[in-house]
Amino acid sequence: MARPRAAEPSSLDARLISFTEELRGEGVAIGTSELLDAFAALAEVPWDVRADFKEALAATLAKSPEDRRVFELVFDRFFFRAAEAEAVVQGVQEGEGFDDAASIDVDALREAIAQAMQDGSEGAMRDLARLAIAAFGERGEGSGVIGVDVQRIRRSLGLRAEPQPDYPEGDPRREGVPREQLRRFEQQLRRELERGQIERTRQLPPARPLSELDRSLPGGPIQDLAAVHRVVAQLKRRLATQGKELRGRRRHAHVDVRRTMRASLQTGGVPVELRYRPLRPRRPELFVLCDVSTSVTSASVFFLSVLHALHDSFRKLRSFVFIERISEVTDVFERERDFRRASEAISRDAGVADISGYTDYGRVWTEFLTEVEDDLHPRATVIVLGDARTNGRPPRDDVFAAIAAKAGRTFWLNPEPRLYWNYGDSVIAAYERHCTAFECWTANQLEDFVKALAGPHGATPGR
Amino acid sequence: MPPVDPTSVEQVADGLRSVGYLPGESTALVSYLATKLGKPVLVEGPAGVGKTELAKALSRFLGRELVRLQCYEGLDEAKALYEWNYRKQLLRIQAEASGTGWDAVQEDIFGEEFLLARPLMTAIASPEPVVLLIDEIDKTDQEFEAMLLELLSDFQISIPELGRVEARTQPVVLLTSNNSRELTEALKRRCLYLWLDYPDVEHELQIVRLHTPELSETIARKLVGIVQEVRELDLKKPPSIAESIDWARALLLLGAEDLDARTFRETMSVIVKHRTDLDTVAARVGVRLSEGAPDGAASRG
């Protein structure tokens, strides 16, 4: 390395290295060569311009949109903590709130904040966040838990992403605040609250690792149909290339005896040249069962659209939707190429909700088994999408086991984070004994699933 | 134009602006780093955000020649690097007196004279520094990517018959990708990374105004607003920046005085190019525009 003065712990080199360590800890792959590039890049830009400094690091360290997002989060967290740690060491205090906090006009503040969010000015938002904290701290509403306080302040400011028609004409809140701006404002609030806490306690709280929710790009695939289509387009391409890889690995699997004998006629019956059976790309028969009850609505739209977009990649795909009863919707999807219209048709005529509208897994398994028992065979794959929340009804995992035994492979996609599995009325553990369960609420997790689906038969993917 | 060697980020930003490209926040910085560090830049982003245009603008600004390699499936070394001019070699052999030995002929026909330089070779061997654009790298297969590695890290090409050809000058290399395939880590590691996204309203307005300064500001602003709105919809192909510029030009040609529902209906095929998309856009955006005067606000000739 060009600079041998890394001995003092607070030097920039050491700081940067610990910054990249932190990035690596969050799953961004950074090689030594990239670290060297980062140093080389920093030698070319002025350090006192925050944007340039950050962009120079980002260009050399974060090499995909996902990495870039993690980079932004870690950059903010790291340098915020570094600055605060330094402030604690040096004993610098910014002062708690404002002297005349009681005199802040809360209504004017609300409008100013909403306006700043529409204009998207970062500096104004930060100042207003401090004002808001001061105003609400004055009213004695602080709970001490930062996450709770952020939401309380947001609510009392009347900031929501959805349109709120009760506000008068011209109020920026009437149309709803842009979601991304709202997120940024919450971030500012959180940071200012943290700063206050650090100043009070004079020490840094432990670093919080990024959660999947932080990581997912704003407007994740589950909310955004356009994003789903992008994911699907990518998955299709991957499925197409994956077939090739398989063929490469298992090229010499089966000798075609008949064709080998035929070819051996040319050499007087000696099988000089072996003929192989061509390896066909895997096209399993799929049975898809999808919970469409209200608890999983957004996820089921997402999955049904994905599976239907993948229609061409599979030999045969039969789709079922269920709530209390089961109903086959394969022909609906074949008739309706437009997904939105298809999902409308399903909710209109499928007739899956009986009385209560709560999922009844036991009944669904029994009905499914009677309907398709004869069609199930070891080359068939059954995919269930649902949260495995039985609403207190018997899970009937014995029937599910019978289905899994008849089918070659059984997958379960659970749109809930693994953290919530088996809490409350979730009985996924009972089903997981008979199938491979995936947690599936980000595009990446969906890809893992598709890999397993397109992978070799019988091999259980490692978890 | 004399070659420019920029000394600051601002100079790059101003330079790009002066040749008709409005760089975003990070674009100028990464371009500057590319000229300083001699690292290739991987530019990713949706189609039509000006990735290729950036390379062209850079070459204009830096006063360097642009060497472009358009990638496609099945692109191989012969098309990208170099090829022996086999016809010329044949002629040479025929022209040689029949008495010449094989050794002499061989030495003769594998010389630079018989080499057909393809884009990568041209970029490397050029005596003047160039801007090398490797467009849509994601369209090629992984083998080709692997072949690029030697070129990108050391700026040299090995030719078995001739030995190594090393770069005489440091080219500025830009690789673009539409992200249709995940590029290999090895390639990414050698590059600086620049993600170009659709610009925000103000930035796009500036771009449109730069290209069609005659269009009135109100129409331009309305136009950009609509394009941004259309991009939010779930379309097969969202409109690119180039298409907003085309649309602005079309409106200018038609002499449109306002962008009302009628003008929109008649010209929206400039920005939306799929049958189903047209319906979606007409239903979601078109209806909200005010209906023009009965005889049409746009005077059509």
Residues B217 and B163 in one domain: no
Residues B34 and B177 in one domain: yes
Which residues of chain A have a CB within 8 Å of the CB of B192?
A: 37, 41, 59-60
A56·B29 Cβ contact <8 A: yes
CATH no. for residue B165? 3.40.50.300
B91 falls within a domain = yes
Closest CA to A289 of A191, A367, A390: A367
- The residues that bridge with B164 in the sheet, in sequence order, are B158
Of residues B33, B234, B235, nearest to A56 (C-beta) = B33
Residues B126 and B109 in one domain: no
**What number does CATH give the domain A225-249+282-454?**
3.40.50.410
User: N- to C-terminal Cα distance for chain A?
Assistant: 40
B294 falls within a domain = no
B29·A59 Cβ contact <8 A: yes
> pLDDT tens digit string along A120-177?
677 777 777 777 777 776 555 556 667 677 777 777 777 766 666 666 666 666 666 6
B193·A64 Cβ contact <8 A: yes
A234 near B CB under 8 A: yes
Inform me whether the pLDDT recorded for B256 exceeds 50: yes
Instruction: Kindly state the tokens that stand for B268.
Output: 């929206």
The domain boundary residue, chosen from B195, B210, B232: B195
A44 near B CB under 8 A: yes
A44·B191 Cβ contact <8 A: no
Distance of residue B107 Cα from the nearest chain A Cα, in angstroms: 40
Quote the domain boundaries for residue B221. 201-288
The domain boundary residue, chosen from B168, B195, B222: B195
Residues B169 and B189 in one domain: yes
Residues B132 and B257 in one domain: no
Closest CA to A395 of A423, A425, A361: A361
DSSP secondary structure code for residue A8 in this structure:
S
Across B53-67, average pLDDT: 92
Instruction: Provide the pLDDT for residue B295.
Output: 42
| Most A-contacting residue of B7, B9, B12, B29 (CB-CB within 10 A), to test interface | B29
Of residues B181, B185, B190, nearest to A29 (C-beta) = B185
> pLDDT tens digit string along A439-461?
877 666 776 777 677 665 444 43
Of residues A41, A55, A226, nearest to B25 (C-beta) = A55
Of residues B26, B44, B190, nearest to A55 (C-beta) = B26
Tally of structural domains, chain B: 3
Q: How many C-beta atoms lie closer than 10 Å to residue A115's C-beta?
A: 15
Distance of residue B211 Cα from the nearest chain A Cα, in angstroms: 26
Q: Report residue A383: phi and psi, to 5°.
A: -120, 125
Q: Any idea which residue has 């944007």 for tokens? A: A51
B50 falls within a domain = yes
3-state secondary structure of A387: coil
Q: Domain boundaries in chain A?
A: 12-90, 101-206, 225-249+282-454, 251-281
Which residues of chain A have a CB within 8 Å of the CB of B189?
A: 31, 33-34, 63
Give me chain A's average pLDDT, please: 73
Q: List the single residue in B with minimal CA-CA distance to A28.
A: B185
Q: How many C-beta atoms lie closer than 10 Å to residue B167's C-beta?
A: 18
Residues B187 and B41 in one domain: yes
> pLDDT tens digit string along A328-363?
877 777 666 566 666 677 766 666 655 566 788 888
Please give the full DSSP string across chain B, using - where no structure is assigned: -------SHHHHHHHHHHTT----HHHHHHHHHHHHH---EEEE-STTSSHHHHHHHHHHHHT-EEEEEE--TT--HHHHTEEE-HHHHHHHHHHS-TTS-HHHHHHHHSSGGGEEE-HHHHHHH-SS-EEEEEETGGGS-HHHHHHHHHHHHH-EEEETTTEEEE-SS--EEEEEE-SSSPPPHHHHHTSEEEE-----HHHHHHHHHHH-TTS-HHHHHHHHHHHHHHHHS--SS---HHHHHHHHHHHHHHT-SS--HHHHHHHGGGT--SHHHHHHHHHHTGGGSPP--TT-SS---
> pLDDT tens digit string along A172-182?
666 666 667 77
> pLDDT tens digit string along A196-219?
777 777 666 666 665 555 555 443
ipTM of the complex: 0.79
Residues B13 and B131 in one domain: yes
Residues B266 and B209 in one domain: yes
B235·A56 Cβ contact <8 A: no
In this prediction, residue B300 has a pLDDT band, given cuts at 50, 70 and 90, of very low
Query: Which one has a higher pLDDT value, A421 or B105?
Result: A421
Inform me whether the pLDDT recorded for A5 exceeds 50: no
A213 near B CB under 8 A: no
A63·B234 Cβ contact <8 A: no
Q: List the single residue in B with minimal CA-CA distance to A234.
A: B180
Instruction: Provide the pLDDT for residue A76.
Output: 84
In A160-179, the residues whose Cβ lies within 8 Å of chain B are none
Inform me whether the pLDDT recorded for A1 exceeds 70: no
Question: Computed from CA positions of residues A153, A159, A160, A161, in that sequence, does the dihedral angle turn out positive or negative?
Answer: negative
